[in-house]
Amino acid sequence: MDLHLQNKIILISGGAKGIGSAIVRACAQEGAIPVIADKAAAQMQSALQQAGNPRAEFIPTELTNPQACKSAIDFTLQKFNRLDALVNNDGINDGIGLATGSPEKFVASLERNLLHIYNLTHYALPALKNSRGAIVNISSKTAVTGQGNTSGYVAAKAAILGLTREWAVELLPDGIRVNAVLPAEVLTPLYESWLSKFPDANQARARIESKIPLGHRMTTAEEIAATVVFLLSEKSSHTTGQHLFVDGGYVHLDRSLS
Comparing CA positions, the residue from 141, 138, 184 lying closest to residue 163 is 138
Residue numbers annotated as active site: 153
Is the model's pTM score more than 0.75?
A: yes
Domain ranges of the chain: 9-186+220-257
Mean pLDDT across 192-211: 94
| The domain over range 9-186+220-257 is classified in CATH as 2.60.120.10 | no
Q: How far, CA to CA in Å, does 93 sit from each of 96, 152, 190, 223, 224?
A: 8, 8, 9, 20, 18
Name residue 10's beta-bridge partners.
34, 85
Question: Which is nearest to 223 in space by CA: 90, 46, 86, 26?
Answer: 26
**Whether pLDDT at 1 is above 80:** no
DSSP symbol at 220: P
- Residue 42, judged by CB atoms within 10 A of its CB (0-12, 13-18, 19+), counts as exposed
Name the band, by pLDDT with cuts 50, 70 and 90, for residue 44: confident
- The pLDDT of residue 86: 99
Q: What percent of the chain has pLDDT over 70?
A: 100
Cα 197 to Cα 159: distance, rounded to the nearest angstrom: 29
pLDDT of residue 258: 64
- For residue 35, list its beta bridge partners: 11, 57
